[in-house]
């Protein structure tokens, strides 16, 4: 029985899982930063129009 | 401690109160025990009634059923007192929260754990456990069910303030129960096979003492956290 | 106050921590990548196949470091939890809960690669041997901590509950490991347990390199997740707005 598919499978699983582990917080923080900035702009416009 | 009641008086008062409350809600008390009986009786239905097969898996099955039944009863350990504010009153009463936790754990064992021990001969009969191993089964349950209550109370205290605490509770305590399950089931299996089992029982006794001395502190810390 | 204590105190300040970790990250990621390439090259290209197991032993370079990290991270989580419980250090609480998913993923990798290693080596995808069973229980412990934290609404309360659970878990961990090992010796013939400790240097060196590489992955990922949580929790505070509208890091 060839061992190659098992070796490749293992390294692929590690790549996928670690890749997701590394990427997920990056993507989420980008989303969060965009949201905070947009809310910041919104409140600035609101303050400007109120005063 | 001149005008206030001592901790031991508080302990006994709480035990008496909780026992009284439990007996007033007898049907609620019965449910986990009924669950125990149902779960064990499902096994022959699932794996077939062969006496040899049942006998070989009996120690594990009985112990797993005991685990499941205990977890089922753990959610109610603190919940009703938490919801009506009584737990908070106990916590600010000035008595050590560890003593309060210990009192409730003891009642839980009397009401949910001890009946499992008393029902075990019936379970042994259903699972075709050789009768000369019955005494070992009872001893493991006597030593182990208090540990189930003690360790389980930590999970109960951590999840009492959560809305769906009950589901999470089982996930939390099962890994903690693994060593107990392994050693207890093995003790009974060893007895069935005629092998020595005193080491396992000794370990269980040590585990009981450890849980008795350590768990109430963790439970108290978790209760204080949940009450904030 | 000496410089080291001053440094420790500074890490307690979210904006300082955010800035400092931002400068640290390129370096920790860099070291990780260098070690990864070195370890993979030495392990996959230079090292010979195992005498007994053949090529499948190359899975070891992923499996063993992942299993090692899964346990190390749990211990670290418990330490950070204690610091949070006893001294109410917020940064410790955040770093503790940020470590949990990383540890869980390493545990999952250890389980999956262990399973794939088992098939060509011992003929079965799953075997209830001591290490795999302990890893499975460890995964449940991680998921419990993550789940408990997620169930609470208030972050600081959630962190304290999770820390308490992690602490109870870490006390149980050696007990679980020894009982599972003992259980395993009763039911499995010894030949199915892992190979002896004498590993040839050509295999040991890449293994050690991969372990250190995984440590740097953990540090880097931990910093990223901690920064994210800081921004999340402090999103209405001035320092966040200041940083976001200023440099974007």
Give whichever of A16-25, B4-13, B20-29 has the largest mean pLDDT.
A16-25
Q: What is residue B107's predicted lDDT score, i.e. its pLDDT? A: 95
Which of C85, C141, C165 has the most B C-beta neighbours within 10 Å, making it the best mutation to test the interface with B?
A: C165
| Of the partner residues A7, A18, A21, the one whose CB lies closest to the CB of residue C59 | A7
Which of C45, C47, C63, C120 has the most A C-beta neighbours within 10 Å, making it the best mutation to test the interface with A?
A: C120
Q: What is residue B4's predicted lDDT score, i.e. its pLDDT? A: 66
Instruction: For residues B149-161, give the mean pLDDT.
Output: 95
Which of C107, C168, C175, C183 has the most B C-beta neighbours within 10 Å, making it the best mutation to test the interface with B?
A: C168
Q: How far is CA B142 from CA B114, B116, B134, C189, in A?
A: 7, 9, 12, 32
Instruction: For residues B92-120, give the mean pLDDT.
Output: 94
Q: What is residue C44's predicted lDDT score, i.e. its pLDDT? A: 84
Which residue from C85, C86, C84 is spatially nearest to C95, judged by alpha carbons? C84
pLDDT in tens, B179-218: 999 999 999 999 999 999 999 999 999 999 999 999 999 9
Cβ separation of C231 and A36 shorter than 8 Å?
yes
Q: What is residue C151's predicted lDDT score, i.e. its pLDDT? A: 93
Which residue from B171, B29, B26 is spatially nearest to B108, judged by alpha carbons? B29
Q: What is residue C188's predicted lDDT score, i.e. its pLDDT? A: 52
Q: Give just the sign of the alpha carbon dihedral B141, B146, B150, B153.
A: positive
Share of chain C above pLDDT 70, in %: 92
ipTM score of complex:
0.87
> Do the Cβ atoms of C21 and C95 come closer than 8 Å?
no
Cα–chain-centroid distance for residue B55?
24
Q: What is residue B25's predicted lDDT score, i.e. its pLDDT? A: 86
C75 shares contact with chain A (CB less than 8 Å): no
- Give the domain ranges of chain B: 3-227
Cβ separation of C62 and A10 shorter than 8 Å?
yes
Which residue from C196, C200, C197 is spatially nearest to C50, judged by alpha carbons? C200
Which residues of chain A neighbour C240 with C-beta distances below 8 Å? 36
Which residues of chain C neighbour A26 with C-beta distances below 8 Å? 224
Share of chain B above pLDDT 90, in %: 81
Q: What is residue A46's predicted lDDT score, i.e. its pLDDT? A: 84
Instruction: For residues B131-145, give the mean pLDDT.
Output: 96
Whether residue B43 has pLDDT greater than 80: yes
Q: What is residue C66's predicted lDDT score, i.e. its pLDDT? A: 95
| Of the partner residues C117, C245, C248, the one whose CB lies closest to the CB of residue A10 | C117
Which residues of chain C neighbour B226 with C-beta distances below 8 Å? 161
Q: What is residue C120's predicted lDDT score, i.e. its pLDDT? A: 84
C248 shares contact with chain A (CB less than 8 Å): yes
Whether residue C248 has pLDDT greater than 90: no
Q: What is residue C192's predicted lDDT score, i.e. its pLDDT? A: 36
- What whole-number distance in Å separates Cα of residue C59 and Cα of residue C116? 8
Which residues of chain A neighbour C244 with C-beta distances below 8 Å? 33, 36-37, 40
Which residues of chain C neighbour A28 with C-beta distances below 8 Å? 228
Please report which confidence band the pLDDT of residue C2 belongs to, taking 50, 70 and 90 as the band edges.
confident
| Of the partner residues B161, B179, B226, the one whose CB lies closest to the CB of residue C176 | B179
pLDDT in tens, C63-105: 999 999 999 999 999 999 999 999 999 999 999 999 999 999 9
Which residues of chain C neighbour A36 with C-beta distances below 8 Å? 231, 235, 240-241, 244
Cβ separation of A6 and C56 shorter than 8 Å?
yes
Q: What is residue C196's predicted lDDT score, i.e. its pLDDT? A: 52
Q: What angle do CA B124, B130, B136 make, to 5 degrees?
A: 70
pLDDT in tens, C177-225: 888 888 877 665 443 334 555 677 788 889 999 999 999 999 999 999 9
Q: What is residue C247's predicted lDDT score, i.e. its pLDDT? A: 58
- Of the two residues B13 and C192, the one the predictor is more confident about is B13
Helix (H) or strand (E) holding B180: helix B165-193
Q: Taking the CA of residue B59 as centre, how many other CA atoms within 13 Å lie in the half-sphere pointing to its CB?
A: 26
Q: Helices B51-74 and B26-47 meet at what angle, rounded to 10? A: 150
C148 shares contact with chain B (CB less than 8 Å): yes
C25 shares contact with chain A (CB less than 8 Å): no
The tokens of B39 are what?
């779960």
Which of B144, B182, B184 has the most C C-beta neighbours within 10 Å, making it the best mutation to test the interface with C?
A: B182
Q: What is residue C189's predicted lDDT score, i.e. its pLDDT? A: 45
C240 shares contact with chain A (CB less than 8 Å): yes
Please report which confidence band the pLDDT of residue B2 belongs to, taking 50, 70 and 90 as the band edges.
very low
C215 shares contact with chain A (CB less than 8 Å): no
pLDDT in tens, A1-51: 777 888 889 999 999 999 999 999 999 999 999 998 888 888 888 888 876
Whether residue C249 has pLDDT greater than 70: no
- Give the domain ranges of chain C: 26-186+200-247
């Amino acid at each position: 029985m060839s061992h190659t598919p098992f070796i490749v499978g293992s390294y692929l699983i590690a790549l996928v899982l670690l890749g997701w582990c590394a990427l997920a917080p990056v993507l989420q923080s980008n989303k969060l930063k965009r949201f905070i900035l947009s809310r910041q702009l919104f409140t600035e416009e609101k303050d400007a129009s109120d005063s | 401690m001149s005008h206030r009641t001592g901790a031991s008086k508080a302990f006994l008062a709480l035990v008496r109160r909780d026992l009284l409350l439990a007996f007033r809600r007898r049907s609620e008390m019965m449910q986990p025990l009924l669950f125990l009986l149902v779960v064990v009786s499902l096994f022959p239905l699932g794996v077939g009634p062969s006496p040899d097969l049942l006998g070989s898996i009996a120690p594990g099955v009985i112990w797993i059923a005991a685990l499941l039944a205990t977890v089922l009863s753990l959610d109610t350990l603190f919940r009703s007192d938490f919801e009506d504010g009584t737990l908070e009153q106990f916590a600010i009463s000035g008595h050590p929260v560890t003593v309060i936790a210990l009192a409730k754990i003891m009642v839980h064992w009397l009401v949910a754990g001890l009946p499992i021990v008393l029902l075990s001969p019936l379970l042994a009969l259903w699972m075709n456990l050789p009768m000369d191993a019955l005494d070992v089964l009872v001893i493991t349950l006597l030593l182990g069910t208090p540990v189930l209550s003690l360790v389980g109370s930590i999970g109960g205290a951590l999840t009492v303030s959560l809305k769906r605490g009950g589901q999470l509770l089982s996930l939390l305590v099962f890994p903690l129960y693994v060593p107990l399950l392994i050693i207890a089931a093995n003790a009974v299996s060893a007895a069935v096979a005629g092998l020595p089992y005193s080491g396992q029982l000794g370990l269980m006794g040590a585990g009981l003492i450890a849980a008795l001395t350590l768990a109430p502190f963790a439970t108290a810390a978790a209760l204080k956290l949940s009450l904030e | 106050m000496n410089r080291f204590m001053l440094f420790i105190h500074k890490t307690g300040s979210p904006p300082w921590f955010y800035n400092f970790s931002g400068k640290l990250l390129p370096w920790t990621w860099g070291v990780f990548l260098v070690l990864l390439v070195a370890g993979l090259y030495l392990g996959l290209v230079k090292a010979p196949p195992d005498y007994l197991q053949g090529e499948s032993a190359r899975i070891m370079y992923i499996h063993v470091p992942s299993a090692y990290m899964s346990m190390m991270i749990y211990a670290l989580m418990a330490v950070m939890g204690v610091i949070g419980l006893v001294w109410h250090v917020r940064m410790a609480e955040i770093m503790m809960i940020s470590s949990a998913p990383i540890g869980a993923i390493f545990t999952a990798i250890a389980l999956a690669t262990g399973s794939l290693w088992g098939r060509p080596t011992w003929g079965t995808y799953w075997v209830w041997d001591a290490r795999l069973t302990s890893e499975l229980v460890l995964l449940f412990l991680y998921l419990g901590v993550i789940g408990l934290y997620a169930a609470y609404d208030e972050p600081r309360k959630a962190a304290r509950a999770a820390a308490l659970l992690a602490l109870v878990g870490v006390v149980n961990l050696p007990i679980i490991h020894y009982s599972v090992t003992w259980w395993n010796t009763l039911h499995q013939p010894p030949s199915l347990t892992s190979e002896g400790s004498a590993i040839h240097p050509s295999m040991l060196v890449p293994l050690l390199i991969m372990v250190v590489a995984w440590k740097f992955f953990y540090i880097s990922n931990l910093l990223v997740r901690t920064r994210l949580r800081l921004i999340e929790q402090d999103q209405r505070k001035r320092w966040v707005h200041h940083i976001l509208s200023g440099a974007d890091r």
